[in-house]
Structure 1
């Protein structure tokens, strides 16, 4: 889940205008990316990658989502291998630890999106249905029918629909 959660954060950082090197480094630390120091060039490469990830959340079909994730895997993931570093349980790595931070971010997000898409049968990634929001999210709810990024956006939309009804 780390990869898909990081993908959500990066896509939303890029689209909401809060992209700063400090914010990016904090997000990378929060999502367990080791040695998250980001130079200006690395920040711009990761930002471009975040823009490339947004269509995964906006895809209108499973096939479109899979094509988009496959393109990310082709460009971002290297050899997949299992590891148990730092006394963690076995988990997958999609790039060697020695790679630069932008390569590791690309690999972990591409791999995370691929695994999540497979587990969710091509569903459960989306953008908020509130037209003024468009925040990306990964739906981990029980029923998998989430259409809004948060309860506030759902309530705002419900109130707008109610007020538009003829009295």
Structure 2
């Protein structure tokens, strides 16, 4: 399964926001940098926008923690209902045609809700409701999107997989 970068913006932003809750700062300038790094244009975070995005990121986590396809789809449907506006096709900035889930003129938190809900929906559809998860290492709660060839990833990165393998080996030896 091949995932195009353009189709991954919302998913990657969702992963980043979910993981920011545990490890990152929610200061406006830090959040603006994250949003800009993920292609959110006009990413000024003012007033209550940062807190609204933080609350949204907590809702996004449920997508990665879902125990089944059905639960994941139901959770994403809730996000779409609350976050996505009118979907439309666009070709701005010399990009190939792609979907937008909220008009450019919306506030930043509305656009974040729209792009993450829409991106997760497209990814879940293409990945048959799988490939989104939380690291299997007990001491790590990092969310990830599995874009590997075989789609069987259980850890957020190789280091966590190796740590868990060493722990299991030592437990057997003990």
Give your verdict on TM over 0.5.
yes
Match of 1:87 among 94, 105, 116: 94
**Residues 25, 31 of structure 2: 8 Å contact kept:** no
**Residues 21, 40 of structure 1: 8 Å contact kept:** no
Match of 1:121 among 107, 128, 136: 128
Match of 1:55 among 45, 58, 62: 62
Q: Confirm whether residue 44 of structure 1 aligns to residue 51 of structure 2.
A: yes
Q: Which residue of 2 aligns with 1:77?
A: 84
Q: Which residue of 2 aligns with 1:99?
A: 106
Tell me whether 36-45 or 137-146 shows the greater mean CA deviation. Answer: 36-45
CA positional deviation for 1:134: 1.0
Match of 1:3 among 5, 10, 13: 10
User: Is there any run of 5+ residues in structure 2 with no aligned partner, and where?
Assistant: 1-7
Match of 1:132 among 112, 133, 139: 139
Secondary structure at the counterpart of residue 165 of structure 1: helix
Instruction: Kindly provide the CA deviation profile for residues 108-147 of structure 1, in whole angstroms up to 9, marking residues without a partner as x.
Output: 0000000000000000000000010010000000000000
TM-score under structure 1 normalisation? 0.97
Instruction: Kindly provide the CA deviation profile for residues 47-79 of structure 1, in whole angstroms up to 9, marking residues without a partner as x.
Output: 000000001000000000000000000000000
Secondary structure at the counterpart of residue 121 of structure 2: helix
User: Is there any run of 5+ residues in structure 1 with no aligned partner, and where?
Assistant: none
* Cα distance in 1 for residues equivalent to 2:10 and 2:24: 21
**Structure 1 ranges of 4+ moved more than 2 A:** 15-20
Q: Which residue of 1 aligns with 2:5?
A: none
Match of 1:157 among 154, 157, 164: 164
CA positional deviation for 1:17: 4.3
